[in-house]
Structure 1
Amino acid sequence: MKQDLDALDVGQLNPLTPEVISRQATINIGTIGHVAHGKSTVVRAISGIQTVRFKSEKERNITIKLGYANAKLYKCEDDECEAPQAYVSFGSDKEDTPISPCCKKPLTLKRHVSFVDCPGHDILMATMLNGAAVMDAALLLVAGNEKCPQPQTSEHLAAVEIMRLKHIIILQNKVELIQEAQATQQYDDIKAFVSGTAADAAPIVPISAVLKYNIDAVVEYLCTQIPVPVRDFTSKPQMIVIRSFDVNKPGEDVENLKGGVAGGSILKGVLRVGDEIEVRPGVVTKAADGKHTCKPIRSRILSLHAENNDLQYAVPGGLIGVGTLIDPTLTRSDRLVGQVLGHPGFLPEVYIEIEITFYLLRRLLGVKTEGQEKAGKVSKLKKGEFLMVNIGSTSSGGRVTGIKGESAKVELTQPVCTQVGDKIALSRRVEKHWRLIGWGQIIKGRTLPMPDEEG
């Protein structure tokens, strides 16, 4: 369905508006769980898109960067077509009313979702936390041929609980590799594992992602169990950047060079082609005395894309590519990850020190020693210790400069565009790896002055 900027009435938009849902995803679904439990394979089974795209990922057959893929979810409304067979998924560029492959009747578009495919390897936990910042719901993958829970199954579940994610669907994958009695036993193990967590009442769907067995049931649950999130279309736009690219090929002629592309999810408001934009913190420099200065990047939106679909305007939810006039050296290799994009003068402050109220987990998650999970206790924060702090899609180092009761001051190693009230995740270095130890909420902080001139 064609979008018309001239006819756009932001007040009338919602996540299921036909002009929106036919062109872009409006719900973000995370895929989480332990390494090699089938997260990327499930995304491919639903969307038809391979999220493992980079040479280093293909060689090792693991997700390293955040993967992403969009899918349209349809339902056959014919009374004779029963669920879950009535539910079908296609790629994002499928037409609005395709024909059902089973009953040959027209299908109705129910949802347009964006998958954020998180890496499951323990050393990539920071990347997973960056992805969790934009999720509305999650698919928790548990491999049927392994004991539940594996280390990152626990760690990822704890992470999405910190992000207050309430809508989780558990997928018991690789059931083609096990006997029925094993599957039943593991079902009980999963129920025991999630008891008392955000996934306590989550449905558990047995699937084979490789064979596409029961994928229609997953599509049904995505349409019926996950409510359409409430979105703010009328505020000034704010987009959280989780990927950024230089799309030019090596040796490209100067006249054919394209500006940098920022990929991410709009948190609120509507971005339009032609909008003037600002990216904060922008270009960060550190003087010899250790002081940081930030110069926000100013530019203009040349194009908006949701995978292969061109957009005239983009709304909250789903992963969007924003084509700009920014020097591509500033956007290549994910250099803008963690920054915030929006209209000039309407973005949050940039902080270099934050004061937080914090809550620590009782025990370490995701630590495995000699085949057993080591339930090490999380020790208290210490003044002077160094943590990794995840704020939105930003990972920054932070030194604890003061502790008083359940609040702490943290001096950040790099400036972060954020605001009071935002939630953060705290990780500590344990056995050479960063481990999730708790979460916090920003109550105040010290901001950096922003220069008035354009970048």
Structure 2
Amino acid sequence: MIVGTAGHIDHGKTTLVKALTGVDTDRLPEEKRRGISIALGYAYLDADAAGGESATGTPRIGFVDVPGHERLIHTMLSGATGIDHALLLVAADDGVMPQTCEHLALLSLLGIEHGTIALTKCDRVDDATRARRHGEIRALVAGTPLAGAPIFEVAATTGVGVRPLREHLIAEAAALPPRVRGGLGFRLAVDRVFSLPGVGTVCTGTAHAGELAVGDELLVLPPAPGQAPLRARVRSLHAQNAAAPRASAGQRVAIGLVGLEKDQVGHGQCLAAPEIAQWTERLDARLRLWPEEARALRSGTPVHVHVGAAQVTGSVAVLGGLGGKPIEALQPGGEAFVQLVLHRPIGAWAGDRIVLRDASATRALAGGVVLDPQAPARYRRTPQRLAELVALTADTPPQRLEGLLAQAPMGVDLVRFATGQGVAGAARAALVAAIGAGAREAGPGAPVAAEITVVQGAEGPAWALGAAQTAQWAYAAQERLQRYHQEQPEELGPDLARWRRLAAPRMAEPLWRALVQRLAGAGRVVVSGATVHLPAHGVQLSALDERLAQKVLPRLLAAGFEGVWARDLAKEAGEPEALVRTTLARLAQRGELFQVVKDLYHAPPAIQALARIARACAADGDVKAADFRDRSGLGRKRAIQVLEFFDKVGLLRRVGDVHRLRADCQLFVGDDGDGDGDAADTA
């Protein structure tokens, strides 16, 4: 358990921590000289050392001693973000003071639900004063999470009341429910960085999630602008101030890192497992405005945002109420969905607590929890987006995903979702196991409705589309294909890329291809090569087309990789060029020929062979034009034309200056020589 002290300056926080643990957390010369805490201080308490029963497995208690000075509130927030239990101190001689109120507000806004109150310096006042302080404290904490917290009277310098307080904290630590560790990637908010001889760079902070072992790799987030995140290996670990082979969520951790210099990481950055690495300048959150604020919080308000150990300026955009209705302002004491637009990136994940302070950083305004750390810049106040935010307020990642799938019209990027939730490893697959159970393969004639579409990626599920959305998009795609047939009755149908542009241009391409595959597998559409049509629609060849096809097909087969121009085929066949062009177009529409560029046609065996060469060139996933040219024996211009054709039909995908192979695409893998392949595979 991590206990965080809170209270006004000179109310005895450091002295009480020393009395409880024997450790003086004021370590800096300036702190000693001035008699106040400036930086975060840490101390630890063992149950057995305090007379407790170590056999019960009571964990070591860590204390975060925070500054009480108003100008050091940002430092207090850095320490308070990861605490489990608040220890609020009020000096009996002073009573409630300004920073007492602000620290209480910050603890409330951070969502810290467990706490204890210590009335310090009780040896300096009489019984009547102590009784009056009890009343003041109860009035102060009324309506906050500390409303029912016990009050202990102590005099740290003499030891009066220290033992009962210590025993109470040990009992609280024993009763604290264990944190969820499995399935979450490790992350830690860095609040101190220093170097030690023989160890190197050491970063300390509270582990927010996951587990870490010696030898693991971590990334420093966010990276410098325009650079990739720095990577470091864990050389040594201290958890709760003791050397350990592993560290886990909820512990104070010191990490010795290899491959990282002290000046390459700073206070406020995060160390995270590579699988969950992300950073953001825009996040959506559920926010509560402090009840004592005099004015409502409106869009455009400049604020200081505290997340983890990071502090960054930004602005607020009020989105809507918790019921999913748009609102213009957040009233004092109320809660709403907001978007925070930050002036520089920070590391943040769903579930992280946030605190907002006003533009001058003089008072706490609001607090809440991150819902989506990769928030959209567009459509952020639409009813659809607000419904998605309502879904993201569910208690667990699987529940959030289930609710999100019921709302998201374009499906869910599962990799992005899992990263934002901090879910790593095998838990990513488990996250969609329940929803994936309904995503069975559709057989011929099977209905597409009431089934979730799940797209598998190289390392697990990559995309998912809800059952209702799958049925809606299947209907819309078929309806648009029917309309295309009515508008272009002479054509067999559009190619897959054009069909997507007509029916669902905003849908992610992996989801679209999966939807097409399911429609084809259910027999609701027919995919011929790169062309798609309804089963009842087809391009019929006339007797003239059949005769011309018999004359040109031998020449096309003999042409191999080079293909033949329509004009040359007409000339060699001794037929009018216009008639030959019409026949070639119909054959291409039926998937019996392929038009690589306008008027240049290839036979299916040649395209299948070129597709095999393209796959062979993609050892690292990218097909380089020079490599493809050399392996195919084509000239540079023709090689590029073929690669661009593969981009168009979906075998490859153009990314910058390279052509990237779609690993899950089964186009042109058939060996029957007609180019059709299996209808379900060609999607």
Q: In 2, distance between residues paired with 1:385 and 1:108? A: 50
More off after superposition, 406-415 vs 316-325: 406-415
Gaps of 5+ in 2: 320-326, 329-335, 378-415, 420-683
What are the within-5 Å matches in structure 2 for residues 273-312 of structure 1? 273-281=214-222, 283-285=223-225, 293-306=226-239, 309-312=242-245
Aligned equivalent of 1:360? 289
Structure 2 residue 38 is the aligned partner of structure 1 residue 42: no
Structure 2 residue 74 is the aligned partner of structure 1 residue 145: no
Structure number with bigger Rg: 2
Q: Which one of the candidate residues 363, 366, 374 is aligned to 1:435?
A: 363
Q: In 2, distance between residues paired with 1:341 and 1:205? A: 37
CA contact (8 A) 1:130 1:392 kept: yes
Q: Which one of the candidate residues 27, 52, 57 is aligned to 2:26?
A: 52
Aligned equivalent of 1:262? 203
Q: In 1, distance between residues paired with 2:144 and 2:365? A: 17
Aligned equivalent of 2:352? 422
Post-superposition offset of 1:393 = 2.2
Q: In 2, distance between residues paired with 1:390 and 1:308? A: 26
CA deviations on 1:253-286 (whole Å, 9 max, x unpaired) are xxx66431111122232211111222221x323x
Post-superposition offset of 1:407 = 4.1
- Give SS of 2:228's match: strand
Cα distance change of structure 1 residues 236 and 421 upon mapping to structure 2, 3 Å threshold: closer
Q: In 1, distance between residues paired with 2:139 and 2:109? A: 20
CA contact (8 A) 1:240 1:338 kept: no
- Give SS of 1:243's match: strand
Aligned equivalent of 1:389? 305
What are the within-5 Å matches in structure 2 for residues 102-251 of structure 1? 110-147=58-95, 149-226=96-173, 227-248=175-196
Cα distance change of structure 1 residues 437 and 164 upon mapping to structure 2, 3 Å threshold: same
- Give SS of 2:195's match: coil
Q: Which one of the candidate residues 252, 264, 267 is aligned to 1:337?
A: 267
Q: How many residues align?
A: 363
- Given residue 304 of structure 1, which amino acid in structure 2 is its aligned partner? L
Q: What TM-score results when the alignment is normalised by the length of structure 1?
A: 0.73
CA deviations on 1:300-320 (whole Å, 9 max, x unpaired) are 111012465221112222211
Cα distance change of structure 1 residues 109 and 408 upon mapping to structure 2, 3 Å threshold: closer
Cα distance change of structure 1 residues 447 and 398 upon mapping to structure 2, 3 Å threshold: same
Post-superposition offset of 1:56 = 2.4
Q: In 1, distance between residues paired with 2:313 and 2:211? A: 32
CA contact (8 A) 1:34 1:142 kept: yes
CA contact (8 A) 2:307 2:352 kept: yes
CA deviations on 1:167-200 (whole Å, 9 max, x unpaired) are 1110000001111121112112212222222111
Aligned equivalent of 1:92? none
Greater length-normalized contact order (CA 8 Å, ≥ 6 residues apart): 1
Q: In 1, distance between residues paired with 2:162 and 2:132? A: 22
Q: In 2, distance between residues paired with 1:207 and 1:238? A: 38
Structure 2 residue 48 is the aligned partner of structure 1 residue 74: yes
Q: In 2, distance between residues paired with 1:277 and 1:168? A: 33
Q: In 2, distance between residues paired with 1:236 and 1:125? A: 30
Cα distance change of structure 1 residues 123 and 294 upon mapping to structure 2, 3 Å threshold: farther
Post-superposition offset of 1:424 = 1.4
Q: In 2, distance between residues paired with 1:134 and 1:355? A: 20
Aligned equivalent of 1:62? 36
Greater strand share, structure number = 1
CA contact (8 A) 2:305 2:313 kept: yes
Q: In 1, distance between residues paired with 2:369 and 2:247? A: 29
Q: In 2, distance between residues paired with 1:339 and 1:71? A: 28
CA contact (8 A) 1:350 1:447 kept: no
- Given residue 278 of structure 1, which amino acid in structure 2 is its aligned partner? L
- Give SS of 1:123's match: helix
CA deviations on 1:139-166 (whole Å, 9 max, x unpaired) are 110100013x211111111111122212
- Give SS of 2:170's match: helix
4+ runs deviating over 6 angstroms: 447-450
CA contact (8 A) 1:136 1:229 kept: no
Q: In 2, distance between residues paired with 1:388 and 1:191? A: 30
Greater helix share, structure number = 2
Gaps of 5+ in 1: 1-26, 76-86, 90-95, 98-106, 249-255, 286-292, 365-376, 451-455
- Given residue 280 of structure 2, which amino acid in structure 1 is its aligned partner? Y
Aligned equivalent of 1:80? none
CA contact (8 A) 1:30 1:115 kept: yes
Q: In 2, distance between residues paired with 1:424 and 1:123? A: 19
- Give SS of 1:434's match: coil
CA contact (8 A) 1:73 1:219 kept: no
- Give SS of 1:125's match: helix
CA deviations on 1:16-62 (whole Å, 9 max, x unpaired) are xxxxxxxxxxx101111111111111111111111111122222221
Q: In 2, distance between residues paired with 1:262 and 1:421? A: 23
- Given residue 98 of structure 2, which amino acid in structure 1 is its aligned partner? P
